[in-house]
Structure 1
Amino acid sequence: MRVASVLESISAGIRCFASHAGRAGEVVGSVDKKHTISGVINVPQRILMGPGPANAHPRILAAQALPLLGHMHPPFLAIMDEIKSGLKYTFQTDSPYTLMVSGTGHAGMEACISNLVEPGDKVVVGNAGIWGERVVEMSKRFRGEVTDLKVPAGQTVPYELLKQTLEQQKPALLFLCQGESSTGTHQNLTGLGELCKKTGALLLVDTVCSLGGVPMFADAWGVDAIYSGSQKCLSAPPGGAPLFLSPRAMEKIQRRKTPPATYNLDLNLIGDYWGWFGKRSYHHTGMVSTCYAMREALALVNEEGLESMWSRHKELHHRLWDGLHSMGLKSFIEKDEDRLITVNTIKVPEGIDWAALIKNAMDEYNVEIAGGLGPSAGKVWRVGIMGYNARPANIELVLTAFKDGLKKQGWKKF
């Protein structure tokens, strides 16, 4: 066959292939470049004084820029061990069952519920806001029989109501939120660990916006499970959920009749990856840079000391309210003992546009003040005093933003 004929045959074959490529699942077409991105990311610098995330400590941000390690490399496993140790101090526990779940506080919540609740288990939920509501929903999804102890927004769940309910129902689990960020309440946990032991329940506590900012004594208070978040009082970026289990809680998980209805959040498997059982098995790719950040966050907690951290948050909480009261503003929480230090809820006065004040604070002062959430939506402003942001200069900036925003709306009660 002549060369020209050969080339003609090849060309015809290529045309034929192209015309049928779509039928074979091949992509035919040209690249649309109109929607590509380029250049260096541009992120504004803002002071985040809402309910979270708070601004991260510079040392913690710098840790995330360190070189990546493999998630099963010995140097990385050593960092995971440091995190476990730091969490034992932060939770105030001797339990070996501490780790950080890959994901935000919601992942910690779901890990606890999916592992501690078996189908048919009775679950009592102290529901003081949006996080109680979500635990009610999540417990139902994992087929728990839920008793919803819902209280009005701005109140905590009374001890006597909890005592009566636990003694009557003998549930498998009691849930309470120590710091309810949607309403600004602080749930007193005194005596509840002992009550749970007497009635056969496990005590699960949400500390997403409270851990590091207010006292927590997991062992002394008889708490059985805790989840938290990295992005609030611990001053790290979002993405990690510190978690604690007591030996009682671990026994419950290991005695389950059926495995948890989640593989990704199965704490037997995650715990094995974190070395809970004397060995290490691959479960998922650990969040390498996020773990660097958490290691630094916990080192900072240790270096300052928990008592000093708690005192710092409390002092600045009082400083904020001294300024707010001088403007004629009031707390959404009536009882002083129920007020959360780390997320403060301020009543929006009649005739004041809450959203306009928030916008003015951002536009004029580059500071975030948040509105309400869930049952407090449209009723309050929320100011966070958490971690790295718990500093006098930030409190003064927030007060200046409030004063200016109120003046612009004709507020006279200064």
Structure 2
Amino acid sequence: MPLDPTLFGEIDPPQRLLMGPGPVNAHPRVLRAMSADLLGQFDPEMTGYMNQVMALYRPIFGTANRWTMLIDGTARAAIEASLVSLVAPGDRVLVVNFGRFGLLLTEILSRIGAVIETVDAPWGETVPMEAIAAAIERTAPKLVACVHGDTSTTMAQPLDGLGDLCRAAGALSYVDATATIGGMEIAADRWGVDIVTGGLQKCLGGPSGSAPITISDAAAEHIFARRHTEAGIRMAGLEDGAGPRIGSNYFDLAMIMDYWSEKRLNHHTEATSMLYAARECARIVLGEGLDARYARHAAAGRAMTAGLRAMGLTVFGADATRMTNVTGVHIPHGVDGEAIRRMMREAFEIEIGTAFGPLAGQIWRIGAMGYNAMRHKVLLTLGALEACLLREGFALPPGKAVAAAMEAWG
């Protein structure tokens, strides 16, 4: 029998304050931009917006790269497009691994058929550049891949000098900046890295579903040369399934780059509303000013950390390399972490994050990024957490957290 449409009402989600590791609440200007009328993908107005997006994201990535654009899909779409397009089966890749999302890189690379090497740090630390240099010398990789800010551990990997190490070894480099773009400095050109990817749903203050990417000339040359090599193999009738062919059509960067080039070669139908969202995210970031935006995120992280410590809680990981926009905090002994998260959500409409891997059940992850990296939202979150902990019987000095956070914000 046909489904009665009245069984499901109009979508009306609760107005929840998302203070976890992402996604976060989208900026109202971004949501308004998404409601604009659709255009055909080759309409001159539409391709003009595409060109504007490319220009807007160059300063956000800290680059002059011509190939700065969007991948349609969540942040992971850009990660996979980068790795699938750079790496052929049998290529040796070094992964800088200090958390769950370094492990994600190895999982994607294993599906490609890469030979994977890792240089590791315990969760809560980052990998010293000297260790990365030694690993590059030891493994002679074709690609070095790493995460900038890993929300699973709340640590940010220092990247100055990485590009020099890679170029000296004849390797390309890839950086996943999903969790930091728009909130911490991204310096693709100064770092000297070849591909950096991001996502809208964290510090950029948009919805998940569009992934900014920037590609160096060296990486672009490699990607296009690989396509020509594959074409030659197919024309010669030599392909046996084990060659360097890119295993994805949708994530083939050479084809996507043609779509974003002056040639406008059809590849897919651009996600128009998501492009509007990405464009408005960038306009908001640049309108605020990069330095001011990074300072706001640093103030939010500093205030959150001060407030948590004033409650008598222990912040996770090293202060020197902590992300400014996500803070891990140990769940006190004897406290049911999930009961606190549920109370925060049900009583205060505030969401904070749990953890996974070796930190599952050990820490909460509390974010303050994008539209939510605001003083009053940090203070509301700390006040709610204090109230929930007190209700669960955890002894803490009432009122100290908010006061400490206000002082730390400056």
TM-score, structure 1 normalization: 0.89
Q: Equivalent residue for 2:165?
A: 195
Is the aligned partner of 1:216 residue 2:186?
yes
After TM superposition, the structure 1 = structure 2 runs for residues 174-193 of structure 1, keeping only pairs within 5 Å, are: 174-193=144-163
State the shift of 1:373 in Å: 2.4
- Unpaired stretches in structure 2, ≥5 consecutive residues: 230-243, 398-410
Is the aligned partner of 1:246 residue 2:216?
yes
Distance in 1 (alpha carbons) for counterparts of 2:245 and 2:292: 42
Equivalent residues of 1:183, 1:373 under 8 A apart: no
Distance in 2 (alpha carbons) for counterparts of 1:40 and 1:142: 42
Q: Equivalent residue for 2:285?
A: 301
Q: Equivalent residue for 1:283?
A: 267
State the shift of 1:34 in Å: 5.0
Is the aligned partner of 1:85 residue 2:69?
no
After TM superposition, the structure 1 = structure 2 runs for residues 22-41 of structure 1, keeping only pairs within 5 Å, are: 31-34=1-4, 37=7, 39-41=9-11
SS at match of 1:412: coil
Equivalent residues of 2:300, 2:325 under 8 A apart: no
Distance in 2 (alpha carbons) for counterparts of 1:263 and 1:227: 19
Is the aligned partner of 1:322 residue 2:306?
yes
Q: Equivalent residue for 2:259?
A: 273
Distance in 1 (alpha carbons) for counterparts of 2:93 and 2:362: 30
TM-score, structure 2 normalization: 0.90
Aligned length: 381
* CA separation of 1:375 and 1:227: change in aligned 2, threshold 3 A: farther
Pick from 64, 75, 80: which aligns with 2:34?
A: 64
Equivalent residues of 2:155, 2:323 under 8 A apart: yes
Q: Equivalent residue for 1:372?
A: 355
Percent identity reads 38
* CA separation of 1:39 and 1:358: change in aligned 2, threshold 3 A: closer
* CA separation of 1:382 and 1:81: change in aligned 2, threshold 3 A: same
SS at match of 1:382: strand
* Cα-Cα RMSD: 1.3
Q: Equivalent residue for 2:21?
A: 51
State the shift of 1:40 in Å: 2.3
Distance in 2 (alpha carbons) for counterparts of 1:84 and 1:374: 37
Distance in 2 (alpha carbons) for counterparts of 1:157 and 1:409: 38
Equivalent residues of 1:235, 1:297 under 8 A apart: yes
Pick from 359, 366, 375: which aligns with 1:383?
A: 366
Is the aligned partner of 1:344 residue 2:330?
no
Equivalent residues of 2:308, 2:315 under 8 A apart: no
Equivalent residues of 1:236, 1:294 under 8 A apart: yes
Q: Encode CA deviations 1:246-293: one digit per residue, 9 max, x unaligned.
A: 111112212224341110011111111111xx3111110110011111
State the shift of 1:409 in Å: 2.1
Is the aligned partner of 1:160 residue 2:130?
yes
In structure 2, give the amino acid aligned to 1:383: I
